[in-house]
Structure formats: structure tokens, C-alpha cells
Amino acid sequence: MLTKRQNLLETIKGGNPDRFVNQWEAFKMVAGDPIAAKNPRPVKGGPDVTDGWGVVRRFPPHVPAGFPLHDQEHKVIKDITKWKEVVKGPSFDYAEGAWDNILSQAAQVDRNEYFLSMLVTPGVFEQVHYLTGMDDCLMYFYEEPEAMHELIDYITEWKLGYAKLVCDIVKPDCIIHHDDWGSQLNSFISPDMFGEFIVPAFKKIYGYYKSHGVQLIVHHNDSYSANLVPHMIEMGIDIWQGAMTGNNIPELIKKYGGQITFMGDINNGIVDTHDWSREVIRGEVERACKANGKHYFIPNTTMGGPESVYPGVYDCVSEEIDRISKIMF
């Protein structure tokens, strides 16, 4: 029997996996570095949190995730042409021993069984709209492209500084990077505009990680982005995680399998509900696995980590993936 790590590699290379990769099972995540700690995320139902970029975030109890406050009082960038006056990324200073906790976690990971993984969030596009607000962000691409290029370059350089620390100190096998690029119907910006503004940033960031020992880039993006897949491949993404059913994953596998792997096709909006049932989950898991096959596909809910909004859903999906593996392999 292959290890979880070996089975994932066989899956994404079109080799001989002996079962489906079961959601996040091959990734052992470590967390708690001192730089990421400067960007705290709000706790569900807890108080507002201000991160190291000055963004105020809130996580109400009735929603699946926290999000920035973008009224006029809380918006960091009110005029993109003056972004240099208000934007300053968190410093890379840290106290002696500040990395000890995450290094202790990393030392306990069996790298034959798992990919030692780190989660990086938010992404480049998300960092921009965290600072500007979504509506203004999308308008600025058209109205103030020069300032947007400058801001994205600044964010990219900050992320490269963080990547250097991560690679030098933790030496992960895998980076799981978040950046949502669309709604459920379409990408937020056109492929051409995406290629101009976003692709160069991620080519630098992912290129740095890959050239400094990171084996896998897993990119979370739970939205419609089928039109951006060629750009994802150009960026160096190995696995698109969060790939929603509306992207027509079987068709994408036929077209791009071997260049990128698709992780998802079990939408949280269908299975992760207050009245969830094993029957519905079993149907979705069977549909996804039978439609997509054994190569270049990892069955997974579309949430950006090994969790669910409603207790029990993630575990139930995993049990049903095990069940269908025994039937199909």
C-alpha cells in the first residue's frame, strides 16, 4: 500500500495510485510562525481583529468565514493613487526563538507519509481588495492601472520576503496558498486582465518557492475559474484546490490533465448544510469520483482546509471517499 504522499504523487503524475487521495489526508499542516501571527484572523462570533496591514476583519456567527470591513471608516485605501501614504506590510522582525514552535511541529512530521505543508493567506488579489474593498478594487483595474501595478508589486515583494523566511527556516514540502478569483458564475476579471496584473506576481512567488525546495504548490480558489486554468499552469500551480462543480471538472481533466490536478468537485453549498445527510454526501462523492476518474483528480469539498461549516460533514465525506475507493480501485 502506498503512503499518502506516494499515492498523491501517483495521482497527479498519471501513475498507479491504489486509491483516491482522500481530501487533505496527504498534507500535514504546521502553523504559528511569527510573521503570520502579525495577521491574526477573527474568531467566529468574536471581536473584530485588525491585522498587520491595518485591515479590520469581522467573523459573524452566521457566515462561513471572516471578511474585512469596507465602510468608509474602516477602508485602508480610500484613493488608490495615494496608496503609498497608507499601506505598509508587517515587518519581518521577530524575537529569538519565535520560530521554535513551528519548527517543533515540523520535526514531528513523517515526510515519507505526508507533505509538510504551510498555509498562506490572503493571496495577492485578496490582499488588494482587503485594502480597497471589492467594488473599488475591480474599478481600479480599469481606472488606475498604473497605481494597481505598483500596489501589486509592493504586495508581491512582501510575499517574496515572507517566502524567503519560510524556505530558509521551515523548509516545507508544500505551500497551500489562498486567493479566490471569481464568483460561482465567472472570474472577477477577464483572462487578459488577469494575465496582465495577477499572473506575473504569482509566477515570481511560486517560482521562488519552487526554486527553494518546495515540491508542491496547492492553490485554493473556490470559484468559477475554468477560463483561468492556462494561467494557473503558467504560474506553476500543481493542484487547484476548491475547484467547484460549475467549472466542469471532467472536461478540464481531459484538456489539462498532466499539467495540473483538480481538487474539489464536492461543493460545500450542496453537502455542507444545516440539514446535511449521508445520502446527499454519498451521491455527490460517487458522482464526482465516477465522472473524474483516478488521475489528476482529488475528491474534496471546496472549502480551503480540512474542515466544514457544520460538524460531521468533512468526516462523512472522507468516509464516503474511502467507500468509493474500495469499489473503484
Predicted confidence (pLDDT) at residue 79 exceeds the cutoff of 80: yes
Residue 61's pLDDT is 85
243-256: pLDDT as tens digits: 999 999 999 999 99
Residue 124 φ/ψ, nearest 5 degrees: -65, -50
Instruction: Tell which residue, 194, 176, 195, has the closest CA to residue 239.
Output: 176
Q: Pairing state of beta strands 49-50 and 56-58?
A: antiparallel
Domains of the chain plus CATH, in order, are 4-41+76-328 (3.20.20.210)
Residue 9's identity, in one-letter code, is: L
In whole angstroms, give the CA distance from residue 43 to residue 227: 34
**Global pTM value:** 0.96
How many angstroms separate the CA atoms of 293 and 17, rounded?
11
Contact predicate 209/250, CB 8 Å: no
Per-residue pLDDT tens over the stretch 248-281: 999 999 999 999 999 999 999 999 999 999 999 9
